[in-house]
Amino acid sequence: MPPMTVKELLACKAARRKLTMIATNDPDEAHACELAGIDIIASGAQVFPQLRAAAPGCFTRPAVHRPTYKASNEDAIRSAFSLMEQGADSVYMCPGIDRIRAVAQMKIPVFGHVGMVPDNQTWIGGFRAVGKTADEALMIYREVLELQDAGAIGVEMEVVPDRIAAAIAERVEICVISLGSGPGCDAECLFACDILGSHNQHYPRHARKYRNLYEESVSAFKEYREEVANGAFPSPEYTVEIRKDEFEKFMDHLG
């Protein structure tokens, strides 16, 4: 099955069909996303060709290269076109409304980002929820409207109070993706590494750990070390045999 079109993605909003998005830069995880029926895959630009090949049926949303943030609108358009030529269904940008408008005017489907934007966290006093006051909530609403007016097809809304996120999603036409912003948006996003529990770093409050692969990895590595130490591994089923006569000839040559 081919990935959904932009028209189909936006129709899901009207039909109130909730979408799922997973962020990953690993082709195997991308393939698993497709097998699991995940709708959207978010990724970086450099690994995108491998992810596109691994998950041809998922709607993809790679990020435009970071260097374009300090470059011209033309550079951003060039990078976005390059990703689309590699098979992207849309792109993600967070460099400013003028860049997003320039890309959207070229009919390239583009997503923006509001709320707690990691790259811009210094302007809000660090990594924190945004929109817990009426003034901040109105600021987020205006930013979403700006993105919509600029031609964006969607926006990632990160760590915004759930009622604020739901109220905004109901009032705009573009796809609102929740990353820690509650169930009232048009899509939910989590990072694959958080879902899998595959790292030993900080897990955000909004990230649900469905598995704990990190602890399972430690346990597996420990079991492997112990079996090597006591001689249980490698056992015959994991080794290659040589015929007795050939081995004897080899030993004769060694002397």
Q: Do residues 191 and 24 make contact, with C-beta atoms less than 8 angstroms apart?
A: yes
Q: Could you report the average pLDDT of every consecutive run of 10 residues in the chain (255 residues)? A: 94 97 98 98 96 98 72 88 97 90 97 91 87 97 98 98 98 98 98 97 94 97 97 96 96 92
Res 120: pLDDT: 82
Q: If we measure between CA atoms, which residue out of 137, 143, 122, 134 comes closest to residue 181?
A: 137
Domain boundaries, the chain: 6-211, 215-254
Residue in the structure block whose two tokens are 């609403």:
141
| CATH top class, domain 6-211 | alpha beta
User: What pLDDT, on the 0 to 100 scale, is given for residue 255?
Assistant: 78
What residues contact 116, with CB distance under 8 A and at least 6 apart?
Answer: 124, 127, 128, 129, 130, 158, 159, 160, 180
Beta bridge partners of 113: 156
User: Which is it for strands 40-43 and 19-23: parallel, antiparallel or unpaired?
Assistant: parallel
CA 194 from centroid of its chain's CA atoms: 11
**What pLDDT sits at residue 70?**
59
Verify whether residue 158 is a known catalytic residue: yes
| Active-site annotation holder among 29, 143, 158, 188 | 158
**pLDDT, tens only, 61-112:** 999 976 545 578 898 899 999 999 999 999 999 878 999 999 999 999 999 9
